[in-house]
């Protein structure tokens, strides 16, 4: 079993597991149509749907086996402003997939980049990943920009590769290798400290 030594801290954020006490903060973005717009099959959630989502994420506090998801709450002065996740895709190939969702009211300050960068630091450092990839709908320019800010290279555009809200959609695929990650400064300029 592998998990960060909680909490992870940056200059502006604290990253820790989601808890049931985070329901109000999580529901604040899960109920917004502009947030779920790019999520596969997602519609704005009711409070009860968010409660079920938070309960599921609360169990995602470690990578125990291939396929597991590690979900980290990004906590700022305003509370939980978003989540970052690493999904363990292959033990043999030491690969994972990065995901994130942030409340738009906290956009434009590099907080999502800082949180995602901290998750990548842990994944490449303590967990020993070789490669991390991330995907987004080709129309989701904000997500593509975040991946580029992280130093991930765009590796593919899969043309009409998946059904998205009843239409065939293009998907962008980005990735970064451990040695590439280690050779660049930490995104957001923050220094990760543990404890």
Q: How far apart are the first and last CA of the chain?
A: 19
Can you say how many angstroms the Cα of residue 44 is from the centroid of all Cα atoms in its chain? 19
Write down the pLDDT at residue 195: 38
pLDDT per residue, tens digit, the chain (195 aa), is 798 999 999 999 999 999 999 999 999 999 999 998 888 667 899 999 999 999 999 999 999 999 999 999 999 998 999 999 999 999 999 999 999 999 999 989 999 999 999 999 999 999 999 999 999 999 999 999 999 999 999 999 999 999 998 899 999 999 999 999 999 875 544 444 333
Let me know: does 150 contact 111? Beta carbons within 8 Å: no
Please work out, in degrees rounded to the nearest 5, the angle formed at the alpha carbon of residue 20 by the alpha carbons of 35 and 22: 45
Write down the pLDDT at residue 154: 98
Structural domain spans, the chain: 8-194
Let me know: does 69 contact 4? Beta carbons within 8 Å: no
Query: CA-CA distance, 44 to 11, in Å (whole number)?
Result: 32
For the full predicted model, state whether its pTM sits above 0.75: yes
Return the CATH number of the domain spanning residue range 8-194: 3.40.630.30
Please work out, in degrees rounded to the nearest 5, the angle formed at the alpha carbon of residue 133 by the alpha carbons of 128 and 138: 165
Write down the pLDDT at residue 194: 37
Task: Return left, alpha or beta for 193; rule: phi > 0 is left, psi -120 to 50 is alpha, else beta.
Answer: beta
Write down the pLDDT at residue 8: 95
Write down the pLDDT at residue 175: 98
Write down the pLDDT at residue 40: 67
**Segment holding 180, helix H or strand E:** helix 178-182
Write down the pLDDT at residue 79: 95
């Amino acid at each position: 079993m592998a998990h960060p030594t909680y909490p992870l801290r940056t200059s502006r954020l604290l990253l820790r597991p989601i808890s049931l006490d985070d329901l109000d903060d999580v529901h604040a973005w899960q109920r917004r149509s502009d947030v779920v717009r790019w999520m596969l099959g997602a519609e704005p959630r009711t409070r009860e749907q968010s409660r079920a989502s938070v309960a599921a994420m609360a169990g995602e506090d470690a990578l125990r086996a291939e396929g597991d998801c590690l979900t980290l709450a990004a906590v700022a002065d305003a509370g939980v402003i978003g989540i970052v996740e690493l999904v363990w895709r292959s033990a043999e190939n030491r690969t994972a997939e990065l995901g994130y969702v942030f409340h738009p009211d906290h956009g434009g300050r590099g907080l999502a980049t800082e949180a995602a960068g901290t998750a990548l630091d842990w994944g490449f450092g303590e967990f020993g990943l070789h490669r991390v990839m991330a995907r987004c709908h080709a129309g989701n320019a904000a997500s593509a920009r975040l991946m580029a800010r992280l130093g991930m290279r765009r590796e593919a555009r899969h043309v009409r590769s998946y059904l998205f809200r009843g239409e065939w959609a293009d998907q962008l695929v980005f990735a970064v290798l451990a040695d590439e990650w280690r050779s660049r400064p930490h995104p957001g300029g923050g220094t990760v400290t543990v404890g």
